Amino acid sequence: MIDLTELAAAALAVADRVEGEVRAEAVRSLLNVVGTTIGAAATTETDIVAAGMRHSGAPGDAPVPGRGDTFDPSSAALITGFAAHLDDFDDTHLATVVHPGAATLGAALGASWLRDRGTGELLPDRSGDELLRAFAVGIELQLRVAVAMSPSHYDAGWHITGTVGSLGAATAAALLLGLDAETTGRALGIASSMTIGHREGFGTMNKPLHPGKAAANGLVAAAAAARGLDASPSALDGPRGYFAVMAPELAPGLLVDGWGERWELLSNTYKPYPCGIVTHPAIEAAERLHQAVGGREIERVEVRCHPLVVELTGNPDPGDGLAARFSTVHGVAAGVLSGAVDLGSYDDAYVRSAALIAMRARVELIPDPDIPRATAHLAVTLADGSTEKCTVENARGSLEAPLTDDQLDRKVLALVERTLSGREKEIVEISRSVADASSARTWFSALAADPKGN
């Protein structure tokens, strides 16, 4: 049996070992998810969720990065997690396809604004260093849960970012609340029954709600455990528990063994394109072919790829930007036409433009199980009878070709410009220097817009 207290103790113990390359990667993960959160904070979709939480939640003073309004802690956690994942531009653990930063950031923010039930006063603040360590361990816990049940869990149709997110969120919140191992173990047990998300929601507003709700659920699990709520001690691996219900195949050692020696956090990656990760090799190849085509008329584009690309992103004619994020056909069409796929490539108007509709009709996906998931072969047939070809084996942003710090900074600068124009460099500096902050609450507040939207 997986002992929840022992698992929690192992996780809590490695907070002091977030140093060196682990610490550097935690900062990169935090910077990236701050950027994606702020970049989507003022979108119509995030406004819808914010309005819903304002209607259903309690008044509060917890901020959301990139916004000027405030919410109760649970609502702020949910909205933060939602915005972080909305553009599908957040971090990705490639082995499991988990996007771990969104739920973890949301729960950490919410935990920083919880109040004492008796006095009404805010609970003790934490330092930026403690915040960074809690963020890192929250990511590590959820990624370990994910690798233990991959790929069977995802293959069954679950959206793994939501289903493991509540556990990582509970872990981060527990660290910031100063909970001991026994209480944190109960929080994990509670969170294991608060999982959310199936893949049918991909390409809709409901998908980013999964990490948003996971953030809020993990926060609630930690807060309730702190007040004495219990859970089954076999909640994770009992005969009717979390793993039995959701994972046909399980490797528990990947969850419980080697804490502090093996870090899944070090395999986190950062996207250069705001769309499903399996589309990236084909998009990069399409961008390269744009120059080779040189404005000549395209008759046909063939994309040979792994069958998972078709399964996850096979929509041939998406109707809006959210759906287009799960269309390799759209990403390839945008790449060969413009030579650069970015956030603008997924604007609703661009997706619905005549030029893109026409080009998408010329793109064909050809699945081949012998092609690795990280590889795409593109062949463009031109009206003059000639053919241009390109193969990408490891796309930018992969573990083999990770974004450099400079590339990541430039990505975040562009994201922040969408919402907090003029504050781009400030936000990058605030994010990168999180460990130097004396107050987690002050650090989070510095990421918000003022009430006038500046």
DSSP-assigned letter for residue 446: T
CB neighbours of 181 closer than 8 A, spacing ≥ 6?
Answer: 5, 6, 8, 9, 12
Residue with tokens 């109960």: 186
Q: Is 272's pLDDT higher than 60?
A: yes
> 150: closest CA among 104, 215, 91, 98?
98
The CATH number given to 4-272+403-447 is 1.10.4100.10
Domain boundaries, the chain: 4-272+403-447, 277-392
The 10s digit of each residue's pLDDT in 184-218 is 999 999 999 999 999 999 999 999 999 999 999 99
Q: Stretch 97-117: mean pLDDT, rounded?
A: 96
pLDDT of residue 452: 63
pLDDT of residue 117: 83
Q: Is 454's pLDDT higher than 90?
A: no
The 10s digit of each residue's pLDDT in 314-350 is 999 999 999 999 999 999 999 999 999 999 999 999 9
The 10s digit of each residue's pLDDT in 208-262 is 999 999 999 999 999 999 999 999 999 999 999 999 999 999 999 999 999 999 9
Q: Stretch 423-444: mean pLDDT, rounded?
A: 98
pTM across the whole model: 0.96
pLDDT of residue 83: 98
The 10s digit of each residue's pLDDT in 394-416 is 999 999 999 999 999 999 999 99
Residue 449 three-state SS: coil
Distances in whole angstroms, Cα of residue 231 to Cα of each of 146, 162, 184 = 21, 20, 11
The C-alpha atoms of residue 350 and residue 321 are separated, in whole angstroms, by 8
Q: Is 453's pLDDT higher than 80?
A: no
> 265: closest CA among 181, 392, 171, 190?
171
AA letter at 167: L
- CATH superfamily, with its number, for domain 277-392: 2-methylcitrate dehydratase PrpD (3.30.1330.120)
